[in-house]
Amino acid sequence: MRAYSDRRVAEVKQSAPAAAASAPQDAGDLVGDPPRADLAAPARLAGARAAFQPPPESEIPNDDFGEVIRRGREIFVDTPRAAAGYVGNSLRCVSCHLDAGRLADSSPMWAAYVSYPAYRSKTRSVSSFQQRLQGCFEYSMNGKAPPLGAPELAALESYAYWLASGATLDPNLPGRGYPKLAAPAQAPDHGRGKQVYAENCAVCHGADGAGQRGADGSAVFPPLWGPDSFNWGAGMGRISNAAAFIRANMPLGLGGTLTDQQAWDVALYMNSHERPQDPRYKGSVEATRQAFHDTDDSMYGREVFGKTLGASGPPKPFRPSIATASR
């Protein structure tokens, strides 16, 4: 687990200067701090608790089932390409579930797998694991849900099942989800969040939040907002989820170094920008806010600097992102 993580950080370290150079320097938007010194600093929260260890990848069986497991892993780390018909942005599952879904406190797939079927308040019904996966495609990937039993879902489910080899059937495994933060001492603040962003995030994710694509069109640094990111219905659109993810996992390789307050502030800032429409759109921003976002945890339908977030009209028809990946 550690080795994979360090490899990813090394990769990112190599591309970081390029990101810095090409990040649009909005007048006054960036205070111009260099990238944080040592991206490999061991500062994870995860180590604090004994978490389940998924098997090493070398143990994926060399048989027909192993092939499907490998396919699931491929979809997980290269989603726009490997599940092209269902993905509408440039994110990958691994963008939010780090280390190919292995990392504790980064909503790991082994902890998820042993937690379904489960009742979900979001859908007000019991979801099977495949139905939970469908939700990720619709919202986090701003895409289209593969039908139940589709090879893509079967492969992702097989990969998660295999990662959970030897785990207890228990929805409360340590390391599941993102560690929840206590309510912030001060109400999250846009101005402070902007500052945290400029100092700690913009170098990779860009001053405009659009991230950066590699030469092959895939996202090296995923977009945090804008048309190519997760949509308003996604879990990461909840300020509390975003704060928890960020506190534990960002800046990449420096998880656990921001204060809780900084994580809340920057989560509010991130989610105070426009992104694709909530696919559950009810015909107007007001009605949609009322139905799904009537909480302090969502900025949807709120006014930020004179603009109502989510006021972009009905959801755009689905377009696979692979068609736009070579922009």
How many degrees, rounded to 5, is the angle at CA 254 between CA 70 and CA 23? 90
102 binding ligand HEC? (CB under 6 A): no
Binding pattern for the stretch 180-209 against ligand HEC, x by CB under 6 A and - elsewhere: --------------------xx-xxx----
Upper half-sphere CA count for residue 263 (Cβ side, 13 Å) = 27
Buried b (16+ CB within 10 A) or exposed e, 83-121: bbebbbbbbbbbbbbbbbbbbbbbbbbbbbbbbbeeeee
| CA atoms of 79 and 251, how far apart (whole Å) | 22
Which residues contact residue 264 at a Cβ distance below 8 angstroms, ignoring those fewer than 6 apart?
Answer: 181, 184, 188, 239, 243
46 binding ligand HEC? (CB under 6 A): no
Min dist CB 95 to ligand HEC, Å, is 4
> Residue 208 CB: number of other CB atoms within 10 A?
16
Phi-psi region of 139 (alpha: psi -120 to 50; beta: other; left: phi over 0): alpha
Min dist CB 284 to ligand HEC, Å, is 25
182: tokens are 């206590």
Upper half-sphere CA count for residue 192 (Cβ side, 13 Å) = 14
246 binding ligand HEC? (CB under 6 A): yes
- The nearer residue to ligand HEC, 266 or 285, going by C-beta atoms, is 266
Selected binder of ligand HEC within 79, 231, 261, 288 (CB under 6 A): 79
Characterize the bridge pairing of strands 125-127 and 118-120.
antiparallel
| Stretch of residues binding ligand HEC (CB under 6 A), selected from 8-16, 62-70, 276-284, 299-307 | 8-16
| Stretch of residues binding ligand HEC (CB under 6 A), selected from 26-34, 94-102, 291-299, 316-324 | 94-102
Applying CB under 6 A, the site for ligand HEC has a residue count of 50
Selected binder of ligand HEC within 20, 91, 239, 299 (CB under 6 A): 91
Which residues contact residue 307 at a Cβ distance below 8 angstroms, ignoring those fewer than 6 apart?
Answer: 274
Min dist CB 62 to ligand HEC, Å, is 24
Selected binder of ligand HEC within 241, 261, 271, 277 (CB under 6 A): 241
| Stretch of residues binding ligand HEC (CB under 6 A), selected from 54-62, 241-249, 281-289, 310-318 | 241-249
Min dist CB 160 to ligand HEC, Å, is 7
CB 110 within 8 A of CB 96: no
CB 175 within 8 A of CB 164: no
Min dist CB 75 to ligand HEC, Å, is 7
Binding pattern for the stretch 107-146 against ligand HEC, x by CB under 6 A and - elsewhere: x---xx--x----------------xx--xx--xx-----
Selected binder of ligand HEC within 114, 236, 239, 243 (CB under 6 A): 236
Selected binder of ligand HEC within 177, 188, 255, 310 (CB under 6 A): 177
In a 3-state reduction of DSSP, which class is residue 83? Answer: coil
Looking up tokens 């937690």, which residue turns up? 115
| CA atoms of 219 and 205, how far apart (whole Å) | 10
| Interface positions with ligand HEC (CB under 6 A) | 8, 12, 16, 39, 79, 91, 93-98, 107, 111-112, 115, 132-133, 136-137, 140-141, 156, 176-178, 200-201, 203-205, 221-224, 229-230, 234-236, 241-242, 245-246, 250-252, 258, 266, 270
